[in-house]
Structure 1
Amino acid sequence: TFEQFVRAVRQGVSPRGETYYPAFPFEFYATLTDQDMADLWAAVQATPSVDRPSEGHDLRFPFNVRAAVKVWRSLFERTADYEVDASRTSEWNRGKYLVEGPAHCAACHTPRNLLGGLSSKELAGDPNMQGGGASPAITARALTAGGYTRDSLVQALRTGVTPTGEVFGGSRAEVVHGSTKFLLDQHLVDMATYLLDLGKK
């Protein structure tokens, strides 16, 4: 039902009351608005079904013990909390909403501890991503040092090409090709405004 869908997306709880694994970024989706949820539900309902059963989880012990997720959540869950900053522009505020919520940038670009909890070093990059590899820092200082302007960051999020002409690889390329290239131009401008900490009134 729609109510179960909302609970699943915002709280990470299945219709049967089971806790989803945090690979599903429900922490970040907690800020989705009621209109967002209605739009997502409409999109899901309009998507044709696939005649193929879902694949089961293939996790080793102790990760296959779903009850342990409740313990993990009590220790590490940090639900996103969005509030408008009246001292900033509408672009900056929309960017904050997108970056910290539905785009869940911190999920990959914030370091995690050994048990997968996010550290306090927001967007400082993760040198030891759990899936392997590393993610760069995307703080305003790091992006500026990398030669990014608002226009070039929008271009990178749209195409995967950096200001120096290099091309994103690995999971960053997946993010562009599966997500950010489909965003509205205004939303990319909003995200770049927030990430570069522009938009002061």
Structure 2
Amino acid sequence: MRRWFVRLLILAVIVIALGLWITRPRSDGAEALAGLTGDVTRGEAVFTAAGCASCHMAEGASDEARLVLTGGQRFASPFGTFTAPNISQDPDQGIGTWSAPDLWNALHHGTSPQGRHYYPAFPYASYIRMEPQQVADLHAYLATLPADPTPSQPHDVPFPFNIRTALGGWKLLFLRDGWVMQGDLNEAEQRGRVLVEALGHCAECHSPRNALGGLKTGADWLSGAPNPAGRGSFPDLTPPEMSWSEAELVEYFTSGFTPEFDMAGGHMSHVVQNLAQLPESDRAAIAAYLKRLPLGQ
């Protein structure tokens, strides 16, 4: 009996060690961005489309203060409340010492420069679809923004969700870099896919999640979801529920006004503010993508 117990204990240790190795934080080396030079102008467009300031600016910031990425906004969820960190150029409290590969690993693998898992409240499950050149461009633009020494505030996440090691298992289940919308897409629809599925991370709010917080795809993709903060819900973007024309969608992304003369509110007002800074062709591309929904049609 003792011999069998020892064997089982050894087997358990091996299984645990193997699991920890499989789910370890992943990082790529400098080769991921080898030969790429970041462009500040393109990087600003990536920054705007990705909505970086909307989450990482100080609460209530406006105008130029939006570009001081001091963090501090809090986002409630069923797993706890997450606080956006300082991602300004401060070398101690922000990301001023990050290299372009550091940024790539954060966006693509959800891994910090210190080799720790990030919580998926940081939407790397969408940003994983960003191209290396887009990341290099974003890094170049971030380097032009101001530094702020405000310390990042800790997340308020209870046990067992505060065990970051478990996030490796979450990534193994749900972190995928393939496109959700497949098929023969025209140029505008392909651009819309980049903006919706990757940069704009629209599904992070507008798609339902399973019990572990993974985004549902297939027929559920962008079909609406409860607000994780517990107040209301995010609307279904798929026809026939979303009946607006492409022109009406473009107008909404530009001005925030709906065809019913309502106005975008809450966090969507920040999204519209970002989209309005993009070329009209990008807003039209998002509309074209949405009109191809639901998937499979």
More displaced stretch, 27-36 vs 14-23 = 27-36
The 2-side partners of 1:72 and 1:7 are apart by 17
Partner of 2:288: 193
Q: CA 1:84–1:176 in structure 2 vs 1: closer, same or farther (change >3 Å)?
A: closer
Partner of 2:240: 141
The 2-side partners of 1:119 and 1:6 are apart by 25
More displaced stretch, 30-39 vs 20-29 = 30-39
Amino acid at match of 2:113: P
Q: CA 1:109–1:183 in structure 2 vs 1: closer, same or farther (change >3 Å)?
A: same
2:278 to 156, 180, 183: 183
The 1-side partners of 2:140 and 2:148 are apart by 17
Amino acid at match of 1:65: I
1:32 partner SS: coil
Partner of 2:192: 95
2:103 partner SS: helix
Q: CA deviation at 1:86?
A: 7.8
Q: TM-score, normalised by structure 2?
A: 0.60
Whether 1:159 and 2:255 are equivalent positions in the alignment is: yes
Q: Is the 8 A contact 1:84 1:93 kept in 2?
A: no
The structure number with the bigger radius of gyration is 2
Partner of 2:201: 104
Q: Is the 8 A contact 1:154 1:192 kept in 2?
A: yes
Q: CA deviation at 1:170?
A: 2.3
Q: Is the 8 A contact 2:253 2:276 kept in 1?
A: yes
The 2-side partners of 1:95 and 1:143 are apart by 17
Q: CA 1:83–1:138 in structure 2 vs 1: closer, same or farther (change >3 Å)?
A: closer
The 2-side partners of 1:118 and 1:12 are apart by 16
The 2-side partners of 1:40 and 1:169 are apart by 27
Q: CA 1:173–1:83 in structure 2 vs 1: closer, same or farther (change >3 Å)?
A: closer
Write the mapping of 1:7-156 to structure 2, written as runs, cut at 5 A: 7-75=105-173, 77-82=174-179, 87-120=184-217, 121-126=220-225, 128-132=226-230, 133-144=232-243, 148-156=244-252
Q: CA 1:12–1:176 in structure 2 vs 1: closer, same or farther (change >3 Å)?
A: same
Contiguous gaps of at least 5 residues in structure 2: 1-98
Q: CA 1:86–1:131 in structure 2 vs 1: closer, same or farther (change >3 Å)?
A: closer
Q: Is the 8 A contact 1:109 1:135 kept in 2?
A: yes
The 1-side partners of 2:145 and 2:251 are apart by 29
Structure 1 residue ranges (4+ consecutive) displaced by more than 6 angstroms after TM superposition = 83-86
The 2-side partners of 1:36 and 1:189 are apart by 20
The 1-side partners of 2:183 and 2:157 are apart by 45
Q: Is the 8 A contact 1:158 1:181 kept in 2?
A: yes
Contiguous gaps of at least 5 residues in structure 1: none
User: Which structure carries more strand by proportion?
Assistant: 2
Aligned length: 192
Identity %: 35
Task: Give CA deviations for 1:152-185 in whole Å, capped at 9, x if unaligned.
Answer: 10111122211111112223223223x3222221
The 1-side partners of 2:287 and 2:118 are apart by 31
